Amino acid sequence: MTLKISNVSKTYPNGVRALKNLSLSIGANMFGLLGPNGAGKSTLMRTVATLQDADSGEIWLDDLDVLQRKDQVRRILGYLPQEFGVYPKMPAIDMLDHLAVMKGILNRGERKDAVESLLRQTNLWEYRKKKLGTFSGGMKQRFGIAQALLGNPQLIIVDEPTAGLDPSERNRFLNLLSSIGRNVIVILSTHIVEDVRELCSRMAIIHNGEVLVEAPPSEAVDALRGRMWRKSLANEAELAAVQKSLQVVSTHLLGGATEARIYAESDPGDGFKAVEASLEDAYFLALSRQKPN
């Protein structure tokens, strides 16, 4: 199964151009959609999830026209939005059963089996009778994935799923995503580079509604090997001088000092040392190369 997004554009009434002739081809497995807040990721995901219309362009899931046959798409879609609301006083098992009915699983026995299986798969079985309002952030996200998996969807979209999770909850959630993203299309939309590096076999970096890079994460990193350099800088004046003469990819505070990472085809000298390239370098370099609007 392949999701083909062709020349999709979206401009909001306030004049913000969220998507600009954006095109992507996404096959089965985990696909990372990486970009800063406001890049257009959520707009694209809402459009693919049939929650809003595009101004122009086409989206096809194999031979299914996503923009025109929304009801059919929703039958095979699982969606976990960035903000996932729940009824806080309802037990998890009752809420999931209610959502299963809305998803079209009307046979009581079939629905019971599906709900119980998903609660076990997401490690929520022992909490099934607890009210959702008592769940931690990670538990709510796992419940969100459980509802997204109702009906064995062929396309699953998760939007910023690990934002706000502590490290242990994040690891559990990523392991769960990895386990389901083998035979279906799973789109992980995030601004967290590590999530994409750890999970996705292919990714796209988008910013200002446009695709800047589309490649496997490993290829994006390989393209920078031998071209990344770092140096600790004493003060802002030294940083400003480096920014004038070299292509600074990112800066970090390290031990109270500012460390600059730069891209250069050969050794820039002046105390810079070679450093292993990372996906974060590829990400920040792509953003820095985009021409301002």
Q: Give the helix/strand (H/E) hosting 259.
A: strand 257-263
40-65 pLDDT tens trace: 999 999 999 999 999 999 999 999 99
Band (pLDDT 50/70/90 cuts) for residue 281 is very high
Backbone dihedral region for residue 286 (phi beyond 0: left; psi -120 to 50: alpha; all else: beta): alpha
Measured in degrees and rounded to the nearest 5, phi and psi for residue 161 equal: -75, -20
Average pLDDT over residues 123-131: 95
Long-range residue pairs from 252-258, CB within 8 A, at least 24 positions apart, any chain:
257/232, 257/233, 258/232, 258/233
Which amino acid makes up residue 19?
L
- Could you report the per-residue pLDDT of 5-35, keeping only the tens digit for each? 999 999 999 999 999 999 999 998 899 999 9
**What pLDDT was estimated at residue 292?**
58
- Asked whether 84 and 140 are in contact (CB, 8 A), the reply is yes
Mean pLDDT of 77-101: 90
- Quick check: pTM over 0.85? yes
CA gap 267, 130 in Å, rounded: 59
Across 149-158, average pLDDT: 92
- Residue 62 phi, psi dihedral angles, 5° rounding: 55, -120
> Does position 285 have pLDDT exceeding 60, yes or no?
yes
Enter the DSSP assignment of 113: H
Among 43-47, 150-154, 278-282, the minimum mean pLDDT is found in: 150-154
Domain annotation for the chain: domains and CATH numbers = 2-216 (3.40.50.300), 226-275 (no CATH)
CA gap 40, 48 in Å, rounded: 12
Using alpha carbons, list the distances in angstroms from residue 46 to 42, 150, 154, 262: 6, 19, 17, 36
